């Protein structure tokens, strides 16, 4: 489904993503992890056609990212970390606008929107009457997730999708992506909430400074590095193991 | 979500699916008319009706266009040139102020760039909206002029057709020119410098437009209602409005070959601009969007450049003046926004531009005799509008929610914030305007004696600075930017102008009566007493409730 070969992105002299290569088959949920500035968002932006790679190739559903950019975009859904929406549209206007961009017939679009309203427990009046600017963060996130799935894409990229969702919505969302994966969709899930990643993902890729550090099943990686949990493995690999000592030093400054 | 599936009521019947291009055009038009951010204190009251907002704007433009009726006694070419000049000014201002936001919106990338739309279709949809709205505005503004032209002796019904066509051409020329400037800036300077460059250009342009808007009526008075221009005047070739006015005259068959030549210049220039902006440079737009998407923030500046404000505020004499840390921090904050923030710059500087016009008007009229004395004295009191407006405009920002930090800080009230804001407005906005007024008054009158007439206004300045801070609401950048447009400042301005006129009258009386110095002493004592009372009241001000 997704194939990266030596994918690289440079901004001037700075290399944000450095020769990244991996393959993700259909039906897999892959946790894409890394510390801040590791190159996760840049990689996702390249894979979603938002920015052009400097070097390397990538294919999604067999389509070349550079050559068939528009076709690739029809095959993917993306929930960006920013959760940006056009705030002066109502939720329904926004979702209908997105549906029209994918040329989804209006009746089908309405039906899917109805299903999402039911799934996310969204108030119908809110969706039709209120501007998105007046939505709570969680409600806005639900609309963004709906917009990403509306055209039934075979590949979905989630960048911090749980940000703003309440506990119930988060549980429902995790079930949703597992169901989507069982139906053959490929899910790339980028998040800093590692226990969720550990529970939901079939596979984890950790990158730092634009380079891949590890790639494998969460339990196997944890076992092979004898780290006990994914969180410990992550801090071990990304230089976070000194954090505890640094936190203690920092706290000491308040004592004096 | 774990509940049994909810059956929502049926949605209203759906219309046939529009094409992606139509969808984008409709989207950008809606966003344009409603505004991008519906955030604000009154979220639920954000405008949803596209029609009512548009109708109000068009009515205002149509009303303003009625000024063209004053041209009824003049040649048709003068009317047409005036209409095209004003249309170019209004449409140019509108397109210039909207283009940056419409063409390169950073948030938009996360919403649209991963969807199956090409940069070219995005560009066309945006251009389509800009042209469409420009045309509406142009038509509304020209409505009265078209009627006037059709009623004039050398006009007629054909003028309606000719002028409508030339107005469409002008709107296309104007939109194309602004987009072309953006594209060229993008190609030559890159997106990183484009923002700063275009902000400066917009500020300068807006100030120029506002000042021109104030000066034109004065010039008309001096020209005794006669715009001595005709197609035969050599310098009209340098003015784009004359090309399109030439089109009107040529189309009606009322003029020589020169009008045809002017018309041809207009048509060729418009075609050239459109071809370059939307044809040749359209590919650069895609690259520009990519670059916008790649940028994580503004380019890093050298450390020395970033810190100059902070250093300045810590050096004498500013460090003596800004003794407490909160006032100093507020001063630096306000100064930084006045220098760096695009939104604040676009609101404050053009907002203050009309203040600069008063001495220029006196320059045009001359400052000799009693009228000159009145002008100089009124200019002095008029400066008081700068702090009033400045303090008012600096309360608004797109980052208004960040001002919560003031309320969470251990401050009993907003007094120290008010103090920092007042001092920033005095030093960075008022003093430069004051110096400019003094220079212009001196140049216009040719003597230093008139400068003394500025003193009554200067002495009253502390009251103008502390007045807006009395109720404790003058907290910098604490109100949503969207609300700046609807903030009611009219009554304050009228009250101020009445007070300014009264002070000017007394000053002139004292000047001509030979008791100017005692008057200044008396005014100083009165202002000092009032200032002390006001300062004590401002110091006691509590936080206004958050609603």
pLDDT at A57: 93
Residue B529 has pLDDT above 90, yes or no: yes
Closest among B224, B229, B232 to B85, alpha carbons compared: B229
Sorting pLDDT into bands at 50, 70 and 90, what band is B2?
A: very low
Higher pLDDT, B148 or B354: B148
pLDDT at B205: 64
The SS3 call for residue A33 is strand
Residues B251-262 have a mean pLDDT of 75
In whole angstroms, what is the distance from residue B457 CA to residue B355 CA?
Answer: 14
In whole angstroms, what is the distance from residue B73 CA to residue A208 CA?
Answer: 76
Higher pLDDT, A220 or B224: A220
pLDDT at B297: 47
Residue B301 has pLDDT above 60, yes or no: no
Contact B20 A168 (CB under 8 A): no
Residues 105-144 (A) with a CB less than 8 A from some CB of B: 105-107, 109-110, 113-114, 117-121, 124, 128, 130-134
Sequence ranges of the domains in chain B: 52-294, 303-540
pLDDT at B294: 63
pLDDT at A64: 93
Contact A49 B34 (CB under 8 A): no
Q: How many CB pairs under 8 A join A and B?
A: 138
Alpha helices in B117-231 (DSSP H): 119-151, 157-222
pLDDT at B486: 52
CA distance, residue A195 to nearest chain B CA (Å):
21
Residue B533 has pLDDT above 90, yes or no: yes
Percentage of chain A with pLDDT > 70? 99
Q: Give this complex's ipTM.
A: 0.80
* DSSP 8-state assignment for residue A103: T
pLDDT tens-place string over residues B208-225: 665 565 555 555 555 544
Which segment of B146-155, B180-189, B269-278 scores lowest on mean pLDDT?
B180-189
Contact B20 A100 (CB under 8 A): yes
> Which residues of chain A lie closer than 8 angstroms to B9, CB-CB?
124
In whole angstroms, what is the distance from residue B139 CA to residue B177 CA?
Answer: 19
Contact B34, B43 (CB under 8 A): no
Higher pLDDT, A105 or B12: A105
pLDDT at B151: 84
> Which residues of chain A lie closer than 8 angstroms to B2, CB-CB?
168, 171-172
Q: How many domains does chain A fold into?
A: 1
Percentage of chain B with pLDDT > 90? 7
Residues A51-68 have a mean pLDDT of 91
pLDDT tens-place string over residues B59-104: 888 888 888 887 777 778 888 888 888 888 778 777 776 776 677 6
Task: Identify from A73, A100, A130, A149 which residue to disrupt to test chain B contact, counting B C-beta atoms within 10 A and taking the largest count.
Answer: A100
Residues B463-471 have a mean pLDDT of 86
Residues A43-56 have a mean pLDDT of 90
Contact A171 B2 (CB under 8 A): yes
Higher pLDDT, B545 or B508: B508
Tell whether B106 is within 8 A of chain A (Cβ): no
Calculate the alpha carbon distances from B160 to B66, B71, B125, B245, B259 in Å. Answer: 16, 16, 29, 13, 17
- Domain span at A159: 2-255
In whole angstroms, what is the distance from residue B438 CA to residue B452 CA?
Answer: 10
Residues 49-78 (A) with a CB less than 8 A from some CB of B: 49-52, 70-71, 73-74, 76, 78
Residue B381 has pLDDT above 90, yes or no: no
**Long-range pairs of B323-328 with CB within 8 A, sequence gap ≥ 24:** B324/B416, B324/B419, B326/B409, B326/B411, B326/B416, B326/B417, B326/B419, B326/B420, B327/B416, B327/B417, B327/B419, B327/B420, B327/B423, B328/B420
Sorting pLDDT into bands at 50, 70 and 90, what band is B207?
A: low
Q: Which range, A132-136, A143-147, B510-514, has the best average confidence (pLDDT)?
A: A143-147
Tell whether B46 is within 8 A of chain A (Cβ): yes
Residue A214 has pLDDT above 60, yes or no: yes
pLDDT tens-place string over residues B103-144: 767 678 888 888 888 877 888 888 888 888 888 888 898 998
Residue A189 has pLDDT above 80, yes or no: yes
Residue B253 has pLDDT above 60, yes or no: yes
Average pLDDT in chain B: 76
Residues B493-520 have a mean pLDDT of 85
Calculate the alpha carbon distances from B494 to A31, B385, B390 in Å. Answer: 63, 11, 16
Sorting pLDDT into bands at 50, 70 and 90, what band is B497?
A: confident
Residues B350-365 have a mean pLDDT of 65
pLDDT tens-place string over residues B408-425: 777 888 888 999 999 999
Name the residue facing A133 among B30, B46, B290 (closest C-beta).
B46
Packing angle, helices B369-382 and B455-466, rounded to 10: 20
Name the residue facing A52 among B10, B20, B290 (closest C-beta).
B290
Residue B10 has pLDDT above 90, yes or no: no
Name the residue facing A50 among B20, B26, B293 (closest C-beta).
B293
pLDDT at A197: 87
Integer-rounded Cα Rg, in Å, for chain B is: 27
pLDDT at A120: 83
pLDDT at B5: 47
Higher pLDDT, A13 or B375: A13
CA distance, residue A199 to nearest chain B CA (Å):
19
Element (H, E) at A78: strand A76-79
pLDDT at B367: 53
pLDDT at A155: 94
Write the CATH number for A63.
3.40.50.300
Contact B113 A89 (CB under 8 A): no
Sorting pLDDT into bands at 50, 70 and 90, what band is B199?
A: low
pLDDT at B137: 86
């Amino acid at each position: 489904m997704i194939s990266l070969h030596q994918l690289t992105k440079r901004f001037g002299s700075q290399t944000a993503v450095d020769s990244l290569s991996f393959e993700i088959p259909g039906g897999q949920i892959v946790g894409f992890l890394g510390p801040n500035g590791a190159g996760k968002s840049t990689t996702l932006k390249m894979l979603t056609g938002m920015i052009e790679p400097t070097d390397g190739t990538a294919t999604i559903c067999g389509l070349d990212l550079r050559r068939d950019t528009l076709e690739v975009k029809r095959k993917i859904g993306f929930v960006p970390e920013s959760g940006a929406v056009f705030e002066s549209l109502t939720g329904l206007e926004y979702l209908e606008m997105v549906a029209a961009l994918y040329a989804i017939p209006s009746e089908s679009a309405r039906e899917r929107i109805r299903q999402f309203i039911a799934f996310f427990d969204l108030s119908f009046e809110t969706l039709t009457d209120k501007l998105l600017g007046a939505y709570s963060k969680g409600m806005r996130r639900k609309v963004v997730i709906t917009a990403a799935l509306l055209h039934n894409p075979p590949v979905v990229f989630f960048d911090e999708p749980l940000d703003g969702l309440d506990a119930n919505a988060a549980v429902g969302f995790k079930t949703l992506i597992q169901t989507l994966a069982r139906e053959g969709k490929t899910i790339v899930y980028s998040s800093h909430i590692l226990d969720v990643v550990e529970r939901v993902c079939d596979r984890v890729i950790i990158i730092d400074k634009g380079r891949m550090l590890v790639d494998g099943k969460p339990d196997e990686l944890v076992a092979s590095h004898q780290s006990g949990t994914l969180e410990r493995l992550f801090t071990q690999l990304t230089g976070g193991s000194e954090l505890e000592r640094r936190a203690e030093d920092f706290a000491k400054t308040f004592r004096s | 979500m774990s509940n049994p599936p909810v059956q929502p009521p049926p949605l209203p019947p759906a219309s046939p699916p529009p094409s992606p291009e139509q969808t984008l055009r409709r989207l950008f038009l809606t966003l344009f008319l409603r505004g991008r951010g519906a955030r604000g204190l009154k979220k639920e009251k954000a405008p949803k009706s596209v029609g009512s907002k548009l109708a109000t704007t068009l009515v205002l433009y149509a009303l303003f266009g009625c000024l063209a009726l004053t041209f009824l006694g003049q040649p048709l070419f003068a009317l047409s040139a005036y209409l095209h000049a004003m249309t170019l000014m209004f449409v140019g201002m509108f397109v210039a102020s909207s283009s940056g936001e419409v063409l390169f919106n950073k948030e938009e990338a996360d919403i649209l760039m991963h969807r199956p739309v090409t940069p070219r279709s995005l560009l066309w949809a945006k251009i389509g909206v800009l042209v469409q709205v420009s045309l509406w505005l142009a038509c509304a503004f020209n409505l009265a002029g078209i009627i006037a032209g059709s009623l004039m002796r050398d006009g007629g019904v054909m003028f309606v057709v000719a002028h409508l066509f030339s107005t469409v051409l002008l709107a296309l020329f104007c939109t194309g020119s602004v987009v072309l400037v953006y594209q060229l800036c993008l190609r030559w300077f890159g997106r990183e410098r484009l923002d700063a460059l275009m902000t400066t250009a917009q500020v300068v342009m807006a100030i120029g437009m506002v000042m021109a808007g104030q000066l034109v009526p004065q010039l008309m008075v001096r020209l005794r209602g006669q715009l001595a221009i005709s197609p035969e005047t050599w310098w009209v070739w340098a003015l784009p409005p004359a090309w399109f006015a030439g089109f009107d005259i040529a189309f009606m068959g009322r003029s020589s070959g020169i009008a045809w030549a002017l018309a041809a210049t207009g048509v060729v220039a418009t075609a050239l601009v459109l071809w370059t902006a939307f044809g040749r440079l359209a590919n650069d737009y895609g690259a520009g969007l990519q670059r916008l998407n790649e940028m994580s923030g503004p380019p890093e500046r050298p450390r020395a450049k970033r810190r100059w404000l902070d250093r300045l505020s810590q050096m004498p004499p500013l460090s003596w003046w800004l003794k407490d840390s909160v006032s100093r921090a507020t001063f630096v904050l306000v100064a930084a926004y006045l220098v760096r923030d695009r939104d604040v710059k676009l609101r404050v500087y053009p907002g203050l531009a009309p203040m600069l016009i008063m001495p220029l008007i006196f320059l045009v009229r001359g400052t000799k005799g009693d009228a000159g004395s009145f002008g100089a004295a009124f200019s002095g009191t008029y400066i008081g509008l700068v702090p009033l407006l400045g303090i008012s405009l600096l309360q608004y920002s797109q980052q208004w929610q960040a001002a919560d930090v003031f309320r969470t800080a251990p401050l009993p009230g907003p007094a120290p914030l008010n103090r920092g804001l007042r001092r920033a407005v005095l030093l960075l906005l008022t003093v430069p305007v004051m110096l400019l007024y003094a220079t212009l008054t001196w140049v216009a009158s040719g003597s230093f004696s008139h400068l003394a007439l500025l003193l009554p206004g200067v002495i009253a300045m502390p009251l103008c600075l502390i007045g807006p801070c009395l109720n404790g609401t003058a907290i910098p950048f604490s109100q949503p930017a969207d609300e700046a447009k609807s903030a009611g400042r009219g009554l304050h301005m009228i009250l101020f102008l009445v007070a300014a006129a009264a002070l000017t009258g007394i000053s002139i009386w004292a000047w001509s009566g030979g008791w100017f110095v005692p008057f200044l002493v008396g005014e100083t004592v009165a202002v000092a007493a009032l200032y002390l009372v006001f300062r004590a009241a401002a110091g006691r001000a509590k936080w206004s409730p958050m609603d």
